[in-house]
């Protein structure tokens, strides 16, 4: 663009664009408009046990095999919400760990129901999520830090 026209002409064209459409239109024109991909670095963290990361990764990619067409579309929405909001590292890790543990344990409870006929209690799944999340976070942070940020 600079080779074909002089700098003055380019500056004039940008000024004219800005008068007509404004900076918002310019941003929208240059902004990539593809689908937002969930990055692997959200799922694969050292603090999360690999079995929970793997199940969550499969759920995000719609690779969890089911008899019926069960669509898990709230996981990407939850991840998007978690990455947008600015919070402390303790809360960020707690949310990430809790989400992945919930996905994995819910999937495990679903499989037990479908394949073994074993009913599960929601209270038990919630208790397991809390137990795993607290045990993992207490292995990383001191008790005072956990009390300060999470109240546990």
Tokens matching residue 3: 């080779």
- CA distances to 11, 50, 130 from 54, rounded to whole Å, are 52, 6, 19
CA distance 48 to 99: 10
Residue 1: its pLDDT value, please?
45
- Give the residue-averaged pLDDT of 82-102: 85
> What ranges do the domains of the chain cover?
1-34, 37-150
User: How large is the average pLDDT for residues 15-21?
Assistant: 75
Q: Are the C-beta atoms of 53 and 107 separated by less than 8 Å?
A: no
Global pTM reads 0.63
Q: Pick the residue with more confidence: 139 or 46?
A: 139
* Separation of alpha carbons 62 and 71, rounded Å: 7
């Amino acid at each position: 663009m600079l080779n074909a026209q002089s700098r003055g002409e380019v500056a004039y064209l940008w000024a004219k664009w800005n008068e007509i459409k404004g900076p918002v239109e310019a941003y929208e024109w240059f902004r990539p408009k593809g689908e937002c991909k969930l990055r692997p670095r959200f799922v694969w963290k050292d603090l999360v046990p690999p079995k929970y990361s793997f199940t969550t990764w499969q759920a995000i990619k719609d690779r969890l095999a089911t008899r019926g067409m069960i669509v898990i579309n709230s996981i990407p929405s939850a991840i998007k919400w978690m990455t947008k909001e600015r919070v402390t590292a303790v809360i960020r890790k707690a949310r990430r760990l809790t989400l992945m543990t919930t996905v994995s344990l819910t999937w495990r409870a679903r499989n037990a129901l479908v394949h073994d006929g074993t009913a599960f209690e929601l209270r038990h799944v919630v208790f397991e999520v809390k137990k795993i999340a607290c045990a993992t976070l207490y292995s990383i942070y001191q008790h005072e830090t956990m009390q300060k940020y999470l109240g546990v």
